[in-house]
């Protein structure tokens, strides 16, 4: 009987768009481990863009994610947010609500008209916390069928999952270790990576591509200089930006999600379950290195 | 004086500083000790005219046209590194966000990257107020329709994503939330300014 860990899945703007491979593959991996999630009822946009575009949107940028939290509470569930931006915005909004009385008053005034109420608490979980803390290394390792020994992987967390300090649930803000531990569980080696939480530019790729190209190239170069075969990440914007910069490069290294890597170790189908055929950079060279031929 | 700063014709404007001080985190420019940790930490600092440190100081001193015409305002990615490391617990990122608002108020985001951000935000607001959601392909497509020159360079990527079923050439609108009245309520009260 599949469990849902008392969590609802939050789709965000990418679920039926450019990061559908993240969500489809996550659902397969989690189903394999015995967990399925329903979608958060009548969820709305997380408001990330409103939070960063310019000042003056503070209330809207908080009210949008708090509506989601209030809905989750009404259903007695927490929320699983695989997108780092959605996750970050929601936790920061929750923190702002709890520490700014004026903001709290304004949001509280809007909730009754929507048939909602909110007490300031709701569980919000990102994929990394889901895998490392809720499912746990033992259960994950027990599902492994392959040893990925010989593979060298750069652990790229991205900038939003462990910042600001106030919302961080991981071992450190700038150099967390939870993804490193899960990578090592597969038998693969984690390469040193100073840029673990250095920004890839995110949506700057739309606004200033040359600048984003530069910073993404630096991120790939560091991984390459440290001997990595591929980059493992937990954020859909990072995954896309680091692939885009390498398009057309014959020496491009794959950029895959942590849960896709774990799925490979579990022996799941690379296409049907893990959606690796939807990546821009082919992964077959990396897999051949550990003796896996599709 | 660093010729790059081009401050020769910019008289300090106290009204500019006063406006900044009215905005959230605006007064932090008064607490800044000019240590440079923010500039040393910023992932896009090397592409900026003026790093976060100089922006904080110059905004405090009222160098309005220099600050509002810098590219700095549009290169911040809100990555929280500056805020996370500032020894006085200030947020240069938030000051820059205020300067974006002030640039918008003064019509200084009508071209270049500033204009693109305004486009993106307008499109975002349109989608949210109508559907309560966005679809990222739909939003990107609408953005590129307004920024056609940038779109041309991205055609290869669009086709690559399409062939991998991560993007439709004519992206669908997002599936609307049921309670669209909730969005009317939020926008009535809070904006999309």
Q: So what's the pLDDT on residue B170? A: 85
**Cis omega before residue A235 (within 30°)?**
no
**Are A199 and B79 a contacting pair at CB < 8 A?**
yes
Cα–Cα distance measured from residue B160 to residue A151, given in angstroms and rounded to the nearest whole number: 27
CB contact under 8 A, B182 and A44: yes
| Percent of chain B whose pLDDT exceeds 90 | 83
What does the pLDDT average to over B17-32?
97
Q: Which residues lie below 8 Å from residue B166, measured CB to CB, with a gap of 6+?
A: A17, A18, A19, A20, A21, A278
Helix %, strand %, coil % for chain A, to 5?
45, 10, 45
**What per-residue confidence (pLDDT) applies to B6?**
62
Using the predicted structure, report yes or no on whether residue B3 has a pLDDT greater than 50.
no
Q: Give percent above pLDDT 90 in chain A.
A: 95
Give me chain B's average pLDDT, please: 93
Cross-chain residue pair A53–B171, CB shorter than 8 Å: no
**Nearest CB to A63 within list B44, B160, B186:** B186
- Those residues whose C-beta lies under 8 Å from the C-beta of residue B190, and which sit 6 or more positions away, are A57, A59, A60, A63, A106, A110
**Is pLDDT above 80 for B11?**
yes
- Which residue among B23, B177, B190 sits closest to A59, beta carbon to beta carbon? B190
Give contacts of B122 with chain A, Cβ < 8 Å: none
Query: Does the pLDDT value for residue A113 go beyond 60?
Result: yes
Q: How far apart are CA A238 and CA A250, in angstroms?
A: 20
Q: How far is A141 from chain B (nearest CA, A)?
A: 31
Closest CA to B152 of A22, A157, A209: A209
**Are A250 and A223 in contact, with CB atoms under 8 Å apart?**
no
Closest partner CB to B97 (pick from A55, A115, A203): A55
> H helices within B34-91, ranges in order?
37-41, 52-61, 64-68, 72-75, 81-85
Contact B157 A110 (CB under 8 A): no
Confidence of residue B192 (pLDDT cuts 50, 70, 90): low
Do the Cβ atoms of A111 and A101 come closer than 8 Å? no
Question: Distance from A86 to chain B by nearest Cα, in Å?
Answer: 12
- The pLDDT score that the predictor gives to residue B4 is 53
Q: How confident is the model at residue A138 (pLDDT cuts 50, 70, 90)?
A: very high
E-strand ranges in chain A read: 7-9, 78-80, 124-125, 152-156, 189-190, 230-233, 255-257
How close does chain B come to A87, measured CA to CA in Å?
A: 14
Select the more confidently predicted residue: A282 or B4.
A282
Q: Give the per-residue pLDDT at B1.
A: 41
Residue of A nearest to B189 (CA): A110
Rg (CA), chain B: 19
What percent of chain A is predicted at pLDDT more than 70? 100
- Please identify which residue in the block is written with the tokens 């700014």: A100
Residue B5 has pLDDT above 70, yes or no: no
> Do the chains contact at A60 and B192, CB–CB below 8 Å?
yes
- Per-residue pLDDT for A282 more than 50? yes
Give Rg (Cα) of chain A. 19
Instruction: Return the closest-CA partner of residue A257 out of A162, A148, A172, A179.
Output: A179
Contacts of residue A275, Cβ cutoff 8 Å, sequence gap at least 6: A20, A21, A24, A25, A260
Question: What is the full DSSP assignment across B18-35?
Answer: HHHHHSTTTTHHHH----
Measure in Å the smallest separation between the Cα of B51 and chain A Cα atoms.
15
CB spacing of A67 vs B182 below 8 angstroms: yes
In A55-151, beta strands by DSSP E: 78-80, 124-125
In the predicted model, what is the mean pLDDT of residues A79-92?
98
A202-227 pLDDT per residue, tens: 999 999 999 999 999 999 999 999 99
Edge to edge, the sheet with strand A255-257 lists A189-190, A152-156, A230-233, A255-257
Among A132-136, A194-198, A284-288, the minimum mean pLDDT is found in A284-288
The rounded distance, in Å, linking the Cα atoms of A267 and A269 is: 7
CA closest to B125 among chain A residues? A50
Does A113 sit within 8 Å of B185, measured CB to CB?
A: yes
Nearest Cα of chain A lies from the Cα of B27 at a distance, in angstroms, of 14
Q: Check CB contact under 8 Å for A45 and B133.
A: yes
> Residue A130 gets which letter from DSSP?
I
Q: What is the pLDDT of residue A142?
A: 98
Torsion of CA A86, A88, A93, A95, to 10 degrees: 150
Beta strand extents in A68-194 (DSSP E only): 78-80, 124-125, 152-156, 189-190
Please determine, for residue A11, whether its predicted confidence score (pLDDT) is greater than 50. yes
Examine the pLDDT at B36 and tell me if it is beyond 80. yes
Cβ distance B134 to A45 less than 8 Å, yes or no, reads: yes
CB A247 within 8 A of CB B160: yes
Residue A84, judged by CB atoms within 10 A of its CB (0-12, 13-18, 19+), counts as buried
pLDDT of residue A120: 86
- Number of Cα atoms under 13 Å in the Cβ half of residue A236: 27
Phi, psi of A256 (to 5 degrees): -125, 160
* Cα of B62 to nearest chain A Cα, Å: 19
Backbone φ and ψ of A230, nearest 5° = -160, 165
* Whole-number pLDDT of residue B167: 87
Beta bridge pairs of residue A156? A233
Which residues on B lie below 8 Å from A110 (Cβ)? 185-186, 189-190
User: What is this structure's pTM?
Assistant: 0.96
DSSP state of A8: E
For B94, the closest chain A residue by CA position comes to A55
Per-residue pLDDT band for A294 (boundaries 50, 70, 90) equals low
> Which of B79, B96, B168 should be substituted to probe chain A, the one whose Cβ sees the most A Cβ atoms within 10 Å?
B79
What is the mean pLDDT of the segment spanning B118-139?
95
């Amino acid at each position: 009987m599949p469990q849902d860990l008392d969590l609802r899945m939050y789709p965000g703007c990418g679920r039926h768009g450019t990061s559908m491979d993240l969500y489809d593959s996550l659902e397969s991996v989690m189903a394999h481990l015995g967990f399925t999630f329903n979608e958060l009822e009548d969820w709305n946009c997380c408001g990330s863009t409103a939070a960063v575009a310019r000042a003056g949107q503070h209330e809207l940028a908080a009210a949008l994610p708090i509506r989601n939290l209030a809905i989750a509470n009404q259903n007695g569930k927490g929320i699983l947010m695989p997108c780092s931006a959605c996750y970050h915005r929601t936790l920061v909004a929750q923190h702002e609500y709890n520490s700014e009385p004026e903001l709290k008053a304004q949001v509280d005034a809007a909730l009754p008209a929507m048939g909602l109420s909110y007490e300031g608490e709701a569980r919000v979980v990102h994929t990394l916390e889901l895998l490392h803390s809720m499912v746990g290394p033992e259960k994950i390792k027990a599902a492994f069928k392959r040893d990925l020994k010989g593979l060298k992987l750069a652990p790229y967390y991205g900038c939003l999952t462990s910042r600001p300090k106030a919302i961080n649930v991981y071992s450190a803000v700038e150099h967390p270790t939870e993804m490193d531990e899960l990578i090592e569980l597969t038998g693969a080696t984690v390469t040193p990576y100073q840029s673990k939480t250095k920004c890839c530019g995110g949506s700057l790729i739309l606004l200033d591509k040359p600048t984003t190209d530069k910073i993404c190239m630096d991120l790939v170069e560091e991984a390459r200089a440290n001997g990595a075969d591929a980059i493992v990440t937990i954020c859909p914007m990072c995954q896309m930006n680091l692939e885009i910069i390498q398009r057309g490069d014959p020496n491009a290294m794959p950029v895959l999600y942590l849960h896709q890597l774990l799925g490979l170790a579990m022996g799941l189908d690379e296409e049907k379950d893990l959606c690796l055929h939807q990546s821009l950079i082919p992964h077959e060279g990396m897999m051949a290195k550990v003796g896996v031929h599709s | 004086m660093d010729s790059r700063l081009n401050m020769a014709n910019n008289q300090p404007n106290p009204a500019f500083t006063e406006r900044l001080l009215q905005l959230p985190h605006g007064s932090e420019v008064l607490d800044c000790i000019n240590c440079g940790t923010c500039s040393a930490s910023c992932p896009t600092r090397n592409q900026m005219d003026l790093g976060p440190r100089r922006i904080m100081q110059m905004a405090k001193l009222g160098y309005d046209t220099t600050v509002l015409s810098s590219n700095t305002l549009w290169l911040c990615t809100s990555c929280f590194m500056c805020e996370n490391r500032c020894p006085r617990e200030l947020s240069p990122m938030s000051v820059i966000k205020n300067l974006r608002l002030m640039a918008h108020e003064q019509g200084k985001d009508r071209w270049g990257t500033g204009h693109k951000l305004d486009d993106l935000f307008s499109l975002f607001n349109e989608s949210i107020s109508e559907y309560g959601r966005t679809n990222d392909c739909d939003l990107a497509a609408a953005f590129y329709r307004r920024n056609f020159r940038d779109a041309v360079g991205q055609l290869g990527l669009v086709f690559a994503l399409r062939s991998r079923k991560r993007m439709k050439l004519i992206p669908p609108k997002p599936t609307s939330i049921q309670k669209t009245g909730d969005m009317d309520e939020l926008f009535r009260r809070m904006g999309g300014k």
